[in-house]
Amino acid sequence: MAFILIVQNDGTGTQESSNYRYEARVNDRVLKRGTLQGFNRSRPWWCLVAQVVIQQSLRFLTREEQAAVSDLTMERAAKESK
């Protein structure tokens, strides 16, 4: 059994930010499809993957709560990468 996360740039966005389609699978079975918009292109690829996971795992929180958790997660990840 394999868990597969496919993240693909959808060709839209700006030089500063981009938009992505993603699909989570277990083998051939699609678990979830979605989009992520406005991702800052200056962030590393693993922040993109983290943002997809955050978007899905925190979907039951308010937007303000989601933003706060997302900001904290990205700040920590940036510190750890140095």
How much is the pLDDT for 32? 86
Per-residue pLDDT of the chain (82 residues; tens, 9 = 90+): 788 999 999 999 999 999 999 998 989 899 888 999 999 999 999 999 988 888 777 666 677 776 776 777 777 777 766 6
3-class SS shares of the chain: helix, strand, coil, % to 5: 40, 40, 20
How much is the pLDDT for 58? 63
**Model pTM score:** 0.67
Domains of the chain by residue range: 3-80
